[in-house]
Amino acid sequence: MTISTDLAYAAELDAQDPCAHFRERFLIDDDNLIYMDGNSLGRLPHEAATLSTELILQQWGSRLIRSWNEGWFTAPERIGAKIAELIGAQEDEVIVADSTSVNLFKLVVAALRHQAGRPQILTDDLNFPSDLYILQGAIEVLDKQHQLQVVSSVDGIYGPVAELQARLNEQTALLTLSHTVFKSGYMYDMAALTAAAHAAGALVLWDLSHSVGAVPVDLNGANVDLAIGCTYKYLNGGPGAPAFLYVRRDLQKRLFNPLSGWMGQRDLFGFDLNYQPASGLRHFLTGTPPVVSLSLIEPGVDLLCEAGIELLRAKSVRQTSYLIDLWQAELEPLGFTLKSPREHAYRVHTSPWDTPRDCASTWP
């Protein structure tokens, strides 16, 4: 594809954009604002604004406690099931709860206990700092029985894949990485690294915060054990919206939430004084969910399911390639450098998506 820096060329791309009509579904009140921070706080879907009024005035105001049985109790599973669709998981393998950091803590402690006798945790220095802090905290809580190995990226852009693979062995309890790294947009080959970890007997936990809603993810296809992710970025869930966690179905009975609270109790209104974990994933819940914030995740997730992640990914590849070509034409001669992989093979790692299918024919 020849890229032109003409405004007319950009307008032509817009005119042919099969995703363009989704723009109307979001509140955009400043045409001069080019918002490129959806990776930090996604835009507000109109539907979320409408729902917020209904939530406050009807569900809370009128229905009061009755709303718990009219959708509030089941929201963590209901919205989790929709997120599952975006990340290639079964609907009972994803649940919404707490923050990404807290979910990481719960799953890491559960995984390390499951992997008794294996003292190493493997990650990289492209990971989100909070993830490293949580790993350090989990090691403290488990009486310093584990060592954290933070493998360095050579250039701060590409993941140190060969080095990670070389360090996987019978000592490794857990490999945990950000699937898409926030520093450069580099994406790991989830299936290949998961298989390598499994060959060494290690569990794998992927942080999908910068992948979910942005790129196709196939957790089941890669046989992933554990994952977590954020909803206020590409899922447009709203500031501080609760996060999600994924536990592969066959592991759900074998892993235990260290923050065992009443929302994860088998019969929560039995008020038994002894904790009995609920079946499925519900035992990974802890306390009462932030219902308002939790409910407002759903419209953004619905929008993504409606658009389809393949369509969005195809647009994203086109748009990023265009941006990179603009950089090459205008900025590189002035000394600006690119801090993201140049080849979208590394910004889109799984082969089925390398050629955007749905819109390939409608794009130039």
State the number of CA atoms in the 13 A half-sphere of 346 facing the CB: 14
Per-residue DSSP letters for 139-155?
HHHTTT--EEEEEPPSS
CB of 86 to ligand PLP, least distance (A): 16
Say whether 189 sits in a helix, a strand or coil.
Answer: coil
At closest approach, how far in Å is the CB of 328 from ligand PLP?
28
Kindly state the smallest distance separating residue 5's Cβ from ligand PLP, in Å: 32
Minimum separation from the CB atom of position 356 to ligand PLP (A): 25
Q: How far is the CB of 128 from ligand PLP (least distance, A)?
A: 3
- If the CB atoms of residues 93 and 124 are measured against ligand PLP, the closer one turns out to be 124
Residues within the interface to ligand PLP (CB under 6 A): 99-101, 128, 130-131, 178, 182, 207, 209-210, 230, 243
* Residue with smaller CB distance to ligand PLP, 234 or 265: 234
What sign does the CA torsion over 363, 180, 40, 7 have?
negative
- Residue 81 identity (one-letter amino acid): A
Residue 118 or 210 with smaller CB distance to ligand PLP: 210
Nearer to ligand PLP, 110 or 314 (CB): 110
Instruction: Name, in order, each residue with C-beta under 8 angstroms of 257's C-beta and a sequence gap of 6 or more.
Output: 106, 110, 264, 277, 283, 284, 285, 286
From the list 214, 289, 235, the residue with the least C-alpha distance to 45 is 235
Phi and psi, residue 122, nearest 5°:
-115, 130
Q: What is the identity of the amino acid at 128?
A: F
**Spatial contact of 98 and 133, defined as CB atoms under 8 Å apart:** no
When the beta carbons of 151 and 359 are compared against ligand PLP, the nearer one is 151
Which residue type is seen at 85? E
Picking from 255, 258, 297, the residue whose alpha carbon sits closest to that of residue 280 is 255
Instruction: For the CB of residue 181, give the shortest distance to ligand PLP in the complex, in Å.
Output: 8
Q: What angle do CA 120, 124, 127 make, to 5 degrees?
A: 120
Q: Which helix (H) or strand (E) holds 47?
A: helix 46-54
CB of 241 to ligand PLP, least distance (A): 9
Contacts of 335 (CB under 8 A, 6+ apart): none
**Which tokens belong to 23?**
């723009």
The residue among 132 and 142 lying less far from ligand PLP, judged by its C-beta, is 132
Closest approach of ligand PLP to the CB of residue 99, in Å = 3
Q: Which is nearer to ligand PLP, 215 or 314 (CB)?
A: 215
Contact indicator for 227, 219 with CB cutoff of 8 Å = yes
Q: How far apart are CA 99 and CA 92, in angstroms?
A: 19
Q: Tell me whether residue 67 or residue 178 sits nearer to ligand PLP (CB atom).
A: 178
Nearer to ligand PLP, 258 or 308 (CB): 258
Least distance between ligand PLP and beta carbon 351 (Å): 24
